[in-house]
């Protein structure tokens, strides 16, 4: 059973998500919060498997709430975003979110994103990925050519691992797909992070998209 915490300032949104998600046999909504600060407190108290985190909220926004939970080191945050959040999207990446879904996503895709996030993978809604790349390329020093140079040192095996990371695969799934040990996979991922200059899977996926190693799903 995957335990979920819903953090959104709109009661109707939370009610809709609860209705959809509670219909799944392996999903359980264990709590709700109406702002980021309450969400952080609830996540620390309830210890859900996945926190569904809105970005725009009063008291404390989703970026700061995600950053605080990421510092704890044992929370998986799936950010809920809208198309109006261009600059905010990269802020959520840097804060440590494990994935991103748009609020108008089909129910089946939301459930899929939760499963990927819960098992240790990272999920990027294809439309979010495209918009994050647009934001990334507007940032000072983030030209595509620079990103290409950052990816050049990756070995072919590391590129294979990165493609699987971008698909949402976790370490055991990558190990099975490439006939490697989990320890070897962890070593490859550590090397990828170091070479790309990133600290987590979502940021590595964005680098992979920007360099053309993988393309957004959809």
pLDDT of residue 146: 43
Torsion angle, alpha carbons of 63, 116, 71, 43, to 10:
80
Please state the separation of Cα 118 from the chain's center in Å: 11
Buried b (16+ CB within 10 A) or exposed e, 173-203: bbbeebebeeebbeebbebbbebbebebbbb
Helices (H), 167-212: 171-178, 182-196, 201-211
Q: What's the Cα-to-Cα distance from 209 to each of 3, 42, 64, 100, 163, rounded to whole Å?
A: 30, 34, 25, 15, 10
pLDDT of residue 46: 95
pLDDT of residue 149: 46
Q: List pLDDT tens digits, range 167-192.
A: 778 888 899 999 999 999 999 998 98
Instruction: Give the global pTM.
Output: 0.73
Q: Strand 77-81 vs strand 99-102: parallel, antiparallel, or unpaired?
A: parallel
Side-chain-side CA neighbours of residue 45 (13 Å)? 11
Phi then psi dihedrals of residue 123, to 5 deg: -125, 130
pLDDT of residue 139: 56
pLDDT of residue 138: 62
In the block, tokens 């980021």 appear at 36
pLDDT of residue 135: 64
pLDDT less than 50: residues of the chain:
142-149, 218
pLDDT of residue 82: 76
pLDDT of residue 204: 80
Domains of the chain: 2-135 (3.40.50.2300), 142-211 (1.10.10.10)
């Amino acid at each position: 059973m995957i335990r979920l915490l819903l953090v959104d300032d709109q009661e109707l949104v939370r009610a809709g998500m609860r209705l959809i998600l509670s219909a799944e046999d392996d999903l359980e909504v264990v709590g709700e919060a109406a702002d980021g600060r309450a969400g952080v407190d609830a996540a620390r108290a309830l210890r859900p498997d996945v926190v569904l985190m809105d970005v725009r909220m009063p008291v404390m926004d989703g970026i700061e709430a995600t950053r605080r939970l990421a510092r704890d080191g044992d929370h998986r945050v799936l950010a809920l975003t809208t198309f109006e959040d261009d600059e905010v999207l990269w802020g959520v990446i840097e804060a440590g979110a494990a994935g991103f879904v748009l609020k108008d996503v089909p129910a089946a895709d939301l459930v899929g994103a939760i499963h990927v996030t819960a098992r240790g993978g990272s999920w990027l809604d294809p439309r979010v990925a495209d918009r994050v790349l647009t934001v990334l390329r507007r940032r000072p020093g983030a030209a595509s050519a620079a990103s290409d140079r950052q990816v050049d040192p990756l070995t072919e095996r590391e590129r294979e691992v990165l493609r699987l990371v971008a698909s949402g695969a976790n370490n055991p799934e990558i190990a099975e797909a490439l006939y490697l040990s989990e320890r070897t996979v962890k070593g490859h991922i550590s090397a990828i992070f170091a070479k790309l200059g990133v600290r987590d899977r979502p940021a590595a996926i964005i680098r992979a998209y920007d360099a053309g190693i993988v393309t957004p799903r959809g």
